[in-house]
Structure 1
Amino acid sequence: MPKKKILIAVTTYPLPSRSYDELVCTAGFLEDGTWIRIYPIPLSFLNQVKKDTGFKKYTWIELDVKRRTDTDFRPESHSPNNYDVKIINTLSTDNFWQERKEICLKNVYTNKLKLLEDSKAPTNISLATFKPSRITDFVVEDDESEWKDEWKEIRKQTDLFAAIEVDPEKLIPKVPYKFYYIFEDDQGVPSKLMIEDWEIFQLYLNCLRTNNNDQKIAIEKVKEKYFGEFVKENDIYLFLGTTMQWHRRRSNNPFVIIGVFYPKIKLQYSLF
């Protein structure tokens, strides 16, 4: 089978796994603009690829994947047959992210009810690009400060591929907060969805390091970025994905925010 050409657009914050090291939910687009989810992707594999190639988001890759039909009913879900990845090129941010827009914005939802209808059988849509009509708030809630004990033990028992270096005593830091956007669709219907994009957690950790481990300041810096700068200066689209557990249970809204697409707003200047 030929490898698929995939534009990587999403990496969520890693979680410990029994069979691998921390696992990252990775998702992106095929050349026709349809979504694809790839898992399991070990964190150590992503780190090694970054180290070797400088790989980052909005990079075209080629990867041998197969549709997951065993336990995952979601049509976008695939797993790698191997981790022999070919890096092609990274799309630039020139001209207000035009190259990225041409792939990522081919199919955009603006209506919550329409998205939720499409997430039901038989279509079972589980990945989507959503354009909110208005982002009304950014909420931070307390979360557990440490990984669960059973997850710590799982990490120590890891049995990863021999070709990938792993230190089972090391865990990626646990961020003790949950971050949410509150936004409205094109009919003014509100949603409150958790943001699980790796970028927001990494931003928090970076702000923590540069502000003497002051959590209050770090949170304010994150809010300034996501609710100050982004909402005022950027044209925000949300990459949404379902969690399999809540999608299978047919939750009222099984989606979370797995990525934020944020080109600068293109101002239209009059010639007169």
Structure 2
Amino acid sequence: MKTYPQPSTKHNETVCTAGITEDGRWIRLYPIPFRWLEDGRHYSKWQWIEVAIAKEASQNDPRRESHRVDVLTIKPGEELDSAHDKTWKQRRALLDHLPHHTMQELERAWDADRAADRPWTSIGMIRPSAILDMTWVDQDEREWTPEQLAKLSQERIFGPDKVHVLEKIPYRFYVHFSCPDRPEPYKLMFEDWEIGMLYRNCVCSSASEAEALQKVRDSYLKDWLNLEKRDVRLLVGTRSVYPTWLIIGMFTPPRRSDEGQQSLFGVT
């Protein structure tokens, strides 16, 4: 899962990638200047990679899953499920056996880790009991500031000769949902790269931004986050050292014939 790129002093722009190790642990890899990677080092959402990593120093980033990555060692490997496999069999096999939590459980784990002075839990997967809405608000600035634009426009020694300047998404998107162990709903910012790309595509095919925003909302609420059609899991993570949880990705396989709404409450 990749977040939408952000300006970076050292790397022009970076994304944070959340993934799973071969032994079933969550991992966060950064900084990755994804669009500026050399040919042959780009990877897709459902693709294994081999890469040299190092644990981030706890004083810089106390989150348990955070690792720095040497982007020059990235070797893309096998992809899970082809675009023609609508069952998501391989992806299910990988994720179905991972722990599923509620937001309260993750928040309590973060608090307990911090109190015990140990690396903090900062990534988890939840099964919402209800998807309530998707909303958006204006960004503080619709365009990059001069300082951000300078970072994005820096020349690089390695990578492609030319990459177009990153487009800023002028809205922040939020998903409203419920978990089975708390009556009050949650509202989390959605930072997945894919929602930014969807918005850009919808703008190109719409007469107005308002129409594009409605298309984004419909795409998620009527399809990708539709609990009747899909077994929705949300991948959530914290931002830096703050206990602010964000949605950084989602896993939404089509429901199988033997699945019903009751499975939404089967938190393990």
- Report the secondary structure of 1:204's partner residue: helix
Distance in structure 2 (CA, Å) of the matches to 1:22 and 1:166? 15
1:225 alignment partner in structure 2: 219
**1:154-165 superposed matches below 5 A:** 154-156=151-153, 158=154, 160=156, 162-165=157-160
Contact 2:34 2:42 in 1 (8 A): no
Task: Name which of structure 1's ranges 91-100 and 174-183 shifts more when overlaid on structure 2.
Answer: 91-100
Distance in structure 2 (CA, Å) of the matches to 1:42 and 1:178? 22
Matched residue type, 2:138: D
1:57 alignment partner in structure 2: 45
1:242 matched to 2:238? The reply is yes
| Alignment counterpart, residue 122 of structure 2, candidates 105, 119, 126 | 126
Distance in structure 2 (CA, Å) of the matches to 1:71 and 1:166? 32
Superposed CA offset, 1:20-59 (max 9, x none): 121111110001221111111003345x45xx47731110
Superposed CA offset, 1:85-140 (max 9, x none): 22211101636322112223333333222110111323511111111111111112
- Report the secondary structure of 1:164's partner residue: coil
Distance in structure 2 (CA, Å) of the matches to 1:44 and 1:123? 30
**1:146-225 superposed matches below 5 A:** 146-156=143-153, 158=154, 160=156, 162-165=157-160, 167=162, 170-187=164-181, 188-212=183-207, 214-225=208-219
1:20 matched to 2:11? The reply is yes
1:260 matched to 2:250? The reply is yes
1:75 alignment partner in structure 2: 64
Q: TM-score, normalised on structure 1? A: 0.83
Cα separation, partners in 2 of 1:105 and 1:149, compared to 1, 3 Å:
farther
Matched residue type, 2:159: I
1:87 alignment partner in structure 2: 76
- Report the secondary structure of 2:242's partner residue: helix
Gaps in structure 2 of 5+ consecutive residues: 260-268
Matched residue type, 2:75: K
Contact 2:62 2:241 in 1 (8 A): no
Distance in structure 2 (CA, Å) of the matches to 1:217 and 1:267? 35
Contact 1:175 1:201 in 2 (8 A): yes
- Residue 209 of structure 1: how far off its partner (Å): 1.1
Distance in structure 2 (CA, Å) of the matches to 1:81 and 1:53? 11
Distance in structure 2 (CA, Å) of the matches to 1:185 and 1:215? 32
- Residue 159 of structure 1: how far off its partner (Å): 5.7
Contact 1:147 1:174 in 2 (8 A): yes
Distance in structure 1 (CA, Å) of the matches to 2:42 and 2:148? 30
Contact 1:137 1:181 in 2 (8 A): yes
Q: TM-score, normalised on structure 2? A: 0.84
2:263 alignment partner in structure 1: none
Matched residue type, 1:175: I
Cα separation, partners in 2 of 1:28 and 1:217, compared to 1, 3 Å:
same
Task: Name which of structure 1's ranges 52-61 and 228-237 shifts more when overlaid on structure 2.
Answer: 52-61
Contact 2:48 2:77 in 1 (8 A): yes
Matched residue type, 1:149: P
- Report the secondary structure of 2:94's partner residue: helix
